[in-house]
A = this chain, B = another copy of it.
Amino acid sequence: MTDLDDIPALMEQIGRRARAAAQRLATASPADKQAALTAAAGAIEAEVPAILDANARDVAAAEDKGLTPAMLDRLRLDRQRVAAMAAGLRNIAAQADPVGAVLTEWDQPSGLHIQRVRTPLGVIGVIYESRPNVTADAGALCVKAGNAVILRGGSESFHSSRAIHACLIQGLAAAGLPEDAIQLVPVTDRAAVGEMLTMTQHIDVIVPRGGKGLVGRVQADARVPVFAHLEGIVHIYLDAAADPEKALRVVMNAKTRRTGVCGAVECLLIHRDIADTIGQGVIRALIDAGVEVRGDDTLAGIDGVIPAQEDDWGREYLEMIVAARVVDDLDAAIDHIRRYGSSHTEAIVTEDTAAADRFTRELDSAILMVNASTQFADGGEFGMGAEIGIATGKMHARGPVGAEQLTSFKYVVRGEGAVRS
């Protein structure tokens, strides 16, 4: 048995096993991977009581530690959430297999036929916090893409994650795939994270999923490439040519449907020409719905609006609070977003196609929306089955990270004895 106290040795062993499993996963058939995920879903459904028991232990410990209600909510599982987890696995199983797909192909004058073929990335390290469902989603997406994965969940969800992980392993075993394809780090020691961040020989990419503190630490310390994932400082710009009804509907949904998701809007930018009409109507509706609106000087005159401070711009509330500012025109809106945004998701509400085109062309966030709620920023809503997170960086993956984004490619070149002159 491994000595769980010798973290470097433990992680080295996990890394070696993952690398070996990745080699087998890379050539696993689509049917086998599908079978593994379907069997894992069945195991989760069969093990609901065990999973809920494990989760109850985590929740009790978290309550003792005085975690916030929001954190407890993220941690807590019930029958419905466990069923959703199993359904997510079946959904991923049903998606097209990304590995081996010919992305593009062409002939060269030299007689060569060149194909660009999708391949797995290798070994993915996922570092996350309290949501136990990440164990299932991340494990399944990585396997779907032919990768091995090392999961390092938060200490709060330790027992829940172990129970879910046991079901994933059952699925792999049922399909004859190596169990080491999905490993859960069996210790809560933070040194394990440090090892993962520097295991360049065994881990190909790190996906951090969690709050600003976790992501910041990962980005600062990692020697392994990271799929950058910043907070969602989401803006909606109500253009002079906004449709009043769409503006109201989109903003209300983007703020109040769920405030704790990264696609929730945090700042409204309102064109000066409609500030007194559409803008005021939207702000009143927000206040009526219980949202605290922190407005600039122009908007502060509206009943119930609280004056915004400088640090309200560029702030992720994840609560029933929104910042609001009047801008002179589209350029000013773009400037504000460039300065304060986090390149996650922004939306424009307008009937003016030229304005929409400039907004989507000149801004460079991962997701740019026109007349749609920013809460659609989600892998499921993009048709990816599930997501491992929303990447805000520009390297490799961007936006919702589904199975396809967890792949690379290679070139397969065929000739008939062709030589270079």
Contact = CB atoms under 8 A, between A and B. Distances in A.
Interface of A: 23, 26-27, 100, 106, 108, 110, 112, 114, 117, 119, 121-122, 204-205, 225, 243, 245-246, 249-250, 252-254, 257, 338, 349, 356, 360-362, 364-373, 375-376, 378, 381-383, 394-396, 398-399, 408-420
A416 B350 CA distance: 10
Most B Cβ at <10 Å: residue of A373, A383, A410: A410
A420 B204 contact: no
A253 B419 contact: yes
Nearest to A416: B371
A382 B114 contact: yes
A262 to B, nearest CB: 13
A383 B411 CA distance: 13
Contact of A394 (B112, B204, B369, B383): B204
B396 A395 contact: yes
A42 B81 CA distance: 65
Given A249-B417, A417-B243, A418-B376, A110 B381 contact: yes
Secondary structure of the A side of the interface? mixed
Given A395-B408, A398-B410, 16 more contacts: A108-B381, A108-B383, A110-B381, A119-B364, A204-B394, A250-B419, A349-B417, A356-B414, A364-B410, A367-B413, A369-B415, A371-B416, A372-B414, A372-B417, A373-B418, A399-B411
